[in-house]
Structure 1
């Protein structure tokens, strides 16, 4: 059988909707599945290659982590300045994972369980990076003040520029993590090999 090309597990991000938070909050985390067919690890992995979520022009992935981030915010004029007094995030993270369409034979089921557990843990790291980014946005946002902005117009542009760097940093962290995990000998590479070998 021809070797199956390793698929990248890249972070699929919904674009950042700037501007941040206030008190305690928790992300809503969901899992969505797509079905794959096959009775062997190799067949299942080949099915992932045909049915996995699309990642731009990079083809298909085994799994992706998507998020939607919106904010409730309140700007307050203070003298000749403007202050971001309230910024509360609403973060929804969705992990998209493969699931066999039918029950697998015993030995294959065990291999699949190891594989999907490892893939899920990988995606949870992406989720943690997103949550960390939102906390950093919150930290730089609440109390953010812009002088000479009594109508609270300039503050939005200036804050968006600051938040862009945090978003870029999170995306780079995700890319670096994927690169390490997907490289030869990396964790995901090993999970794929364990799934498809010996069948």
Structure 2
């Protein structure tokens, strides 16, 4: 599951420094919530009760949340507005379960395999989000156009490009989740393996 947000900030430039040179920054946070259980079924039940909220009535096993912010530095010179700098920041937060109860070696082995699969799933969401930032960075590079004193048109162009790429990559996130969560898919396999059904 993912939780996302997107913000675009605009800053007027005071100096002209040539073509836009966009860049992105990444911060990563990892959160955990504790689960206890003597069996795989009890651990699944604990995750269903304590995991990150997924809608109003259900919870997820784990979650990748990200907040995206773009700060646009725009300069007008001789009637041409140029995007001098586009600084993107993505804050990624992974939330995972943490088993705190002792267990036999068989359950411990199943738990480690389960968590390896859960981490792989969530880190794939993170990779897609980072790809989105790189694509946006490329799309904004060199953006310029004749415009008014406030560079209104250029700002709208930048916003449209950001929104378009954001929507494209959210569709990729949703398609990945649909594959992983389908009947007989990767997530079902992980849950069944933890419960000893495979």
Please tell me the TM-score bracket, short chain as reference: 0.7 to 0.9
Q: For 1:51 and 1:43, how far apart are their aligned partners in 2?
A: 12
Give me the whole-angstrom Cα distance separating, in 2, the residues matched to 1:149 and 1:127: 38
Partner of 1:182: 181
Give TM-score scaled by structure 2 length: 0.86
Task: Tell me the equivalent position of 1:6.
Answer: none
Kindly tell me the number of residue pairs found equivalent between the two proteins.
Answer: 189
Q: Gaps (5+ residues) in structure 1?
A: 1-9
Cα distance between partner residues in 2 of 1:99 and 1:93: 19
SS of corresponding position for 2:53? coil
Displacement of 1:181 in angstroms is 0.9
Q: Unaligned 5+ residue runs, structure 2? A: 11-19
User: Are 1:76 and 1:84, in contact at CA under 8 Å, matched by a contact in 2?
Assistant: yes
- Deviations 1:60-87 (Å, cap 9, x if unpaired)? 1111101122234311112212111111
**For residue 151 of structure 1, what is the aligned residue in structure 2?**
150
Aligned to 1:73: 72
Could you tell me the TM-score, scaled by structure 1's length? 0.86
3-state DSSP of counterpart to 2:54: coil
Q: Over aligned residues, Cα RMSD in angstroms?
A: 2.2
Single out whichever of 145-154 and 103-112 deviates more from structure 2. 145-154
1:17 matched to 2:40? The reply is no
Alignment of 1:110-149 (within 5 A): 110-149=109-148
More deviation, 63-72/89-98: 63-72
Residue 24 to residue 137, structure 1, CA distance change in 2 (3 Å):
closer
Separation of aligned partners in 2, 1:164 and 1:24: 17
Residue by residue, what CA displacement relative to the aligned partner does 1:74-105 show, whole Å, maximum 9, x if unpaired? 11112212111111222221111111122332
Does the aligned pair in 1 maintain the 2:21–2:86 contact within 8 Å?
A: yes
Deviation of 1:26 (Å): 4.9
What is the match of residue 27 of structure 1? 26
Partner residue in 2 for 1:107: 106
Higher strand proportion: 2
- Aligned equivalents of 1:152, 1:44: Cα separation in 2: 56
